[in-house]
Amino acid sequence: MVTYRTSMQIVRDLLTVTEESGVNGINITALLTKANLSHSRLSKFIENLTGAGLLNKIEYDGKNTFVITPKGKQYLESYEKFQSLADSFGLEL
């Protein structure tokens, strides 16, 4: 059986991968690979996350790099707490 990720799970994955990349950030190709998304789908998520202030886009030498913001880290912590609470009640997010 194939299980699909919800939008919330994809956001968590994107923020986690970006956070793990550290202060140098992550480029779009690595983000595509690690988050396992198509370019068009990733572009929509990136637009939403940067618009919400969860990720910062840094343009350097014609290339884009993404870093997680403090607000993004806070979102990730809150998501993980809520995930834990939902799991304790046997619910899936």
- Residue 2 in any domain: the answer is no
Whole-structure pTM value: 0.90
Summarised one tens digit per residue, pLDDT across range 71-90 is 999 999 999 999 999 999 99
For 39, half-sphere exposure in the C-beta direction (CA atoms, 13 angstrom radius) is: 3
For 57, the 3-state DSSP assignment is strand
Q: What is the CATH number of the domain that holds 63?
A: 1.10.10.10
34 three-state secondary structure:
helix
Structural domain that includes position 71: 7-88
| Under 8 Å between Cβ of 45 and 10 | yes
Residues in the chain where the model's pLDDT stays below 70: none
Beta-strand relationship, 55-60 and 26-27: unpaired
What is the number of domains present in the chain? 1
